[in-house]
């Protein structure tokens, strides 16, 4: 963390400089007045600690000039305490009443460090619901291929264990494709009763079957111009697979109960955690459909092969959940971090998100402990 200390009293300034030199995690630069600080501050600084009474430009005017670009801690004596309190409306959230010891200063800095970390995490998670929170080498490798594939109209087959984020990848591909401004429609084959999948995909006309009291638009039509994401494609009934293949080849669909062909222009992304080669051998999946869907296969690695992402995702989601439930800022204890890193995550990111949310809700204090993750019962 890079810190600027602005103090006109040379003895105080030097004392702070010497005291802070014992803390290697902090990089400190001092300035003798506000004007020098304004010239020397750049985007590399994380925090400004400033006195109130200074010649030329006092601390309040200095904070106004900073205009919210940096978090600020005010140093003040009793004589200037009322003025320091005025700075609250400028965004100052912490004050150090002179004289103070170095431990008090370090505690204030560490409080600010936690707040900044949470702010960054929340900003990251707010950016878009489907952004990737991690940055492991394994993820970067897959994203390099994903970025190339996104720019084309080729069919993509996402492969990976349950919970690795296949729908997140599908949405990312759509958002970075030429079809980004058109609909993104997702349908999970495993979540729909077998006898309803065909009508869900292709729609139906009024009277097509007993319960068809009005016409319904199918997912293909809803996705027209955009992207249709077929999740758990391996669960699609064999009979429906032939109709899907025909729709993709002829670029048209027919609603149940209608002979009228409806032209479609869509990109198909499909996903599965099943072994489709095995299903083809067993006569459960059509080989011709497999090749139609599998122009570009993308293998998404499980979370246990993306260890670098675990704490990144956990900390970002802790911040998001604290905000969601109105809790004070919470962090992970060192033991809790070790526990997260040593766990195998069979449920992948979906399981991690569940564990994090529960720990935020059930933890007693603002530091989440190892036993509050409840991972021991899962091992």
Q: What is the pLDDT of residue 334?
A: 95
pLDDT of residue 110: 81
Nearest in space to 264 (alpha carbons), one of 204, 224, 230: 224
Question: Rounded to whole angstroms, how far apart are CA atoms 311 and 302?
Answer: 15
pLDDT at 107: 85
Contact between 52 and 78 (Cβ < 8 Å): no
Alpha helices in the chain (DSSP H): 10-20, 34-40, 59-66, 81-86, 102-127, 137-150, 166-175, 197-202, 219-222, 238-250, 276-281, 287-293, 307-325, 334-342, 348-362
pLDDT given for residue 131 in this prediction = 57
pLDDT of residue 125: 44
Alpha helices in 41-156 (DSSP H): 59-66, 81-86, 102-127, 137-150
The pLDDT mean for the chain works out to 87
CA distance 322 to 312: 16
Position 180 scores a pLDDT of 94
pLDDT at site 69: 81
CB 62 within 8 A of CB 34: yes
**Domains defined for the chain, CATH in brackets:** 2-127 (3.40.50.2300), 137-301 (3.40.50.300), 305-372 (1.10.8.60)
Per-residue pLDDT, 130: 42
What per-residue confidence (pLDDT) applies to 167? 92
User: Who's near 196: CB < 8 A, 6+ residues apart?
Assistant: none
pLDDT of residue 225: 95
pLDDT at 84: 59
Q: Which of 129, 171, 120 is nearest to 353 (CA)?
A: 129
120-141 pLDDT, tens per residue? 554 444 443 345 777 788 888 9
324, 319, 326, 318: which is closest to 352 by C-alpha?
318
**Residue 175: which of 233, 128, 140, 123 has the closest Cα?**
128
Q: Residue 85: what pLDDT?
A: 64
**Model-level pTM?**
0.65
pLDDT at 211: 77
Residue 138 is encoded by which pair of tokens? 């394994």
Could you report the per-residue pLDDT of 235-254, keeping only the tens digit for each? Answer: 999 999 999 999 999 999 99
Q: What is the mean pLDDT of each run of 10 residues along the chain (379 residues)?
A: 90 89 88 91 88 86 84 76 64 78 85 64 45 79 93 96 93 94 93 88 84 85 95 94 95 90 96 96 97 96 93 92 90 96 93 94 93 78
All residues at 6 or more sequence positions from 284 whose CB lies less than 8 Å from its CB, including other chains: 238
**Closest Cα to residue 222, out of 174, 187, 272, 171?**
187
CA 247 to chain centre: 35
């Amino acid at each position: 963390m890079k810190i600027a200390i602005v103090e006109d009293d040379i003895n105080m300034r030097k004392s702070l400089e010497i005291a802070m030199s014992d803390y290697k995690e902090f990089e400190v630069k001092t300035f003798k007045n506000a004007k020098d600080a304004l010239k020397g501050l750049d985007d590399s600084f994380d925090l400004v600690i400033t006195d109130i009474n200074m010649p030329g430009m006092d601390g309040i005017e200095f904070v106004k000039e900073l205009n919210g670009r940096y978090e600020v801690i005010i140093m003040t004596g009793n004589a200037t305490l009322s003025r320091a309190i005025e700075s609250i409306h400028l965004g100052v959230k912490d004050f150090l009443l002179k004289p103070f010891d170095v431990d008090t200063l370090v505690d204030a800095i560490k409080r600010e460090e936690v707040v900044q970390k949470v702010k960054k995490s929340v900003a990251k998670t707010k950016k878009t619901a489907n952004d990737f929170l991690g940055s492991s080498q394994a993820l970067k490798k897959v994203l390099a291929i994903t970025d190339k594939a996104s720019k084309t109209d080729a069919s993509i087959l996402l492969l990976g264990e349950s919970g690795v984020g296949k729908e997140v990848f599908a949405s990312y591909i759509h958002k970075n494709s030429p079809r980004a401004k058109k609909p993104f429609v997702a349908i999970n084959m495993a979540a729909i009763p077998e006898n309803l999948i065909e009508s869900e995909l292709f729609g139906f006309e009024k009277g097509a079957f007993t319960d068809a009291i009005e016409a319904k638009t199918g997912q293909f039509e809803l996705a027209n111009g955009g992207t249709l994401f077929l999740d758990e494609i391996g669960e699609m009934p064999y009979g429906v697979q032939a109709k899907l293949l025909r729709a993709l080849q002829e670029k048209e669909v027919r609603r149940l109960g209608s002979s009228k062909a409806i032209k479609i222009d869509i990109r198909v992304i499909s996903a599965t955690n099943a072994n489709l080669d095995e299903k083809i051998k067993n006569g459960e999946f059509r080989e011709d459909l497999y090749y139609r869907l599998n122009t570009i296969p993308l293998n998404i690695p499980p979370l246990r092969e993306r260890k670098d992402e675990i704490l990144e995702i956990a900390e970002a989601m802790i911040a998001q959940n604290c905000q969601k439930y109105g809790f004070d800022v919470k962090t992970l204890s060192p033991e809790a971090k070790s526990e997260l890193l040593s766990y195998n995550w069979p449920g992948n990111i979906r399981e991690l998100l569940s564990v994090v949310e529960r720990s935020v809700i059930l933890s007693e204090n603002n530091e989440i402990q190892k036993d509050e993750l409840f991972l021991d019962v899962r091992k």
